[in-house]
Amino acid sequence: MTAAPDPTPSGVELLQQYFTAFTPVQLAQFEQLGPLYAEWNEKINVISRKDIDALYERHILHSLSIAAVGNFAKGSAIIDIGTGGGFPGLPLAIFFPEVTFHLVDSIAKKLKVVDAIAKTIGLTNLTTQHTRAEEINNKKFDFAVSRAVAPLKELWGWSKPLLQHKNRTAGNELAPALLCLKGGDLAAEIQVSGTKPKQLSLSALFPLPFFEKKFLLYVPR
């Protein structure tokens, strides 16, 4: 008797279950991420070894949950705080080719992976900066995004000064905000943060076990 096939596709097919209008360029870029991250992760560890086989679900689809909620208008500027190997910023830069993404991290070697992958797949709307987020004082953005970086109180303290007072770019449905991805029980963390975020359950977007207890927090400026 042979085992039943896994009903959950991996790779780009998984993304296409939830997002249907990729251009051929976007499809080619997403397809290249699997082999490129596998290759780079051997040299510089940016993704846990057990997660690299689940790259499309646990990193790319997870990053794209932000696109399912916030439709960033053409010309918007986004900062990804603590991007590590490029999440959520790099998949979002593929998704929104007319929006600029600035990916920052305090560890330079992680950005080397981001720069190399962005260059190989021809992403021209992404820049990186080796810095601590709280040290940036000369740039403003329409939105900040972030995944798994710091407690909300700190993250909001870093994000708020980086956000425009009003959207610089017409067409954004959302006001300038932090959109961050977090997991687990967030009640205490939200309470001490002094913010009142909207909390969206990702399992409502993606009915897969990985997304249980995963949330997107929307904190407007």
Residue 145 neighbours by CB under 8 Å, 6+ apart:
66, 78, 79, 80, 81, 88, 89, 92, 178, 179, 180
Q: Which of 58, 102, 110, 182 binds ligand SAM (CB under 6 A)?
A: 110
Binders in 148-187 for ligand SAM, by CB under 6 A: 148-150
Minimal distance, residue 68 CB to ligand SAM, in Å? 17
What CA–CA distances, in Å, run from 5 to 14, 118, 145, 179? 15, 33, 36, 36
How many residues form the binding site for ligand SAM (CB under 6 A)?
18
Give whichever of 129 and 169 is closer to ligand SAM, judged by the CB atom.
Answer: 129
Q: Which of 61, 99, 104, 111 binds ligand SAM (CB under 6 A)?
A: 104
* 84 near ligand SAM (CB under 6 A): yes
The Cα–Cα gap between 64 and 211 comes to 13
Choices 79-87, 112-120, 193-201, 206-214; region in contact with ligand SAM by CB under 6 A: 79-87
Number of helices and strands in the chain (H, E): 9, 7
Q: Which of 105, 126, 214, 217 binds ligand SAM (CB under 6 A)?
A: 105
Is the dihedral angle over the CA atoms 54, 131, 137, 124 positive or is it negative?
negative
Minimal distance, residue 175 CB to ligand SAM, in Å? 23
Question: Which contiguous run of DSSP H or E holds residue 103?
Answer: strand 100-105
Residue recorded with tokens 């040299």 = 43
Minimal distance, residue 132 CB to ligand SAM, in Å? 4
Binders in 116-155 for ligand SAM, by CB under 6 A: 132-134, 147-150
* 91 near ligand SAM (CB under 6 A): no
